[in-house]
Amino acid sequence: MNQITPPNNNALSYRDAGVDIDAGDRLVENIKPYAKRTMRPEVLSGIGGFGGLVEISKKFKEPVLVSGTDGVGTKLKLAFELNRHDTVGIDLVGMSVNDILVQGAEPLFFLDYFACGKLDVDAATEVIKGIANGCEQAGCALIGGETAEMPGMYPVGEYDLAGFAVGVVEKAHIITGADIKPGDVVLGMASNGAHSNGYSLVRKIIERSNPDLNAKFDGERSLADCIMAPTRIYVKPLLALMQTLTIKGMAHVTGGGITENVPRVLPQNVVADIDSKSWQMPRLFDWLREGGNVAEQEMFRTFNCGIGMVVVVSKEDAAKAISQLQAAGEKVWQIGHIRSRNGDEHQTQVR
């Protein structure tokens, strides 16, 4: 006689353990149309498989792959508090694509990692819509990612983000900064705000000042709008500029601010002299300096202070570069020059 196993009222499912597979499936379906808009001709397969397939365009003779990875950092804590999830995905993309851009690379594709304790499909959809938005701005394809629901790892309502971009550059056109010399001109491209760096200090200043984040702060924009403004993505205007003149070096102004990022692209024998009065610093940075009583040099080594990308060109090309970038809708200033280094002085002097 066949025995019938009695029902087990103590049986557990994955959902009982805190992981909702159905919610993950809904998220994938929600984001597919946004990812589809980012596709490039090189993409052979995107979201849905175990891996994304991308071929390298035949336009490159000696293609070199350039990769970069990053997160959004503690800016996410403000996103949770303000319930603003629509722009942090742009930050995530911007941090990586701007980094690989400085070596002359055209971003090809991007993948993200979204981790949470319990998946909020609506919030996650907003985040990944932002990632797709950033990919569209950069001209790269969102070909996949990973959503990890890990009960007990994160507080309710919180998540973490990471991602990486892969781009390609012709070997002969890699930008190294090696040809930068005294007399070259330093250009600064405007940021949207603090981008995604220095937010541990931003949050400390908010804690000390206890401002009304929703009050009007800069025209019709609230303080929250200014603090959460997403990272500006410089890919398309700078790739276009590379087609018309020689860019000798670029520095994405991220953690470490202007002071610590510009030396990363300079030869050891030169210094970038930066005139801090040559551009209009956004009001947000004045508020941060005053609210935290932050020293001027500390500001320049923590925040971008209104300059999100530094570009070095020859003196002869400076006017053309400024004109072309302005025509592309960028705010850009001549913020300094390159001179010979005296001894072991710091390679970026902001005055």
Q: Do 337 and 181 form a contact (C-beta atoms < 8 A)?
A: no
Q: Which residues contact 111 (CB under 8 A, 6 or more apart)?
A: 52, 142, 143, 144, 145, 146, 163, 164
Q: What letter represents residue 301's amino acid?
A: R
Edge-to-edge strand ranges of the sheet holding 249-252: 249-252, 307-313, 185-190, 332-340, 270-274, 348-350
Q: How confident is the model at residue 115 (pLDDT cuts 50, 70, 90)?
A: very high
Alpha-carbon distance of 235 to 139, in angstroms, equals 8
The number of helices, as runs of H, and strands, as runs of E, in the chain is 11, 14
pTM: 0.93
- The torsion angle over the Cα atoms of residues 83, 81, 135 and 72, rounded to 10 degrees, is -170
pLDDT at 19 over 80: no
Domain 185-350 has CATH 3.90.650.10: yes
Class of 21-173 in CATH: alpha beta
| Rounded distance between C-alpha atoms, residue 111 and residue 19, angstroms | 22
Q: CA 194, 197, 202 angle in degrees (round to 5)?
A: 70
pLDDT digits (tens, 9 = 90+) for 121-171: 999 999 999 999 999 999 999 999 999 999 999 999 999 999 999 999 999
What does DSSP say about strands 216-218 and 332-340: parallel, antiparallel, or unpaired?
unpaired
Q: How confident is the model over 29-53, as pLDDT tens digits?
A: 887 888 888 999 999 987 777 888 9
Q: Per-residue DSSP letters for 147-180? A: EEE-TTTS-TT-EEEEEEEEEEEEGGG---STT-
- The domain limits of the chain are 21-173, 185-350
d(CA 185, CA 268): 17
Residue with tokens 């071929």: 55
pLDDT digits (tens, 9 = 90+) for 232-272: 999 999 999 999 999 999 999 999 999 999 999 999 999 99
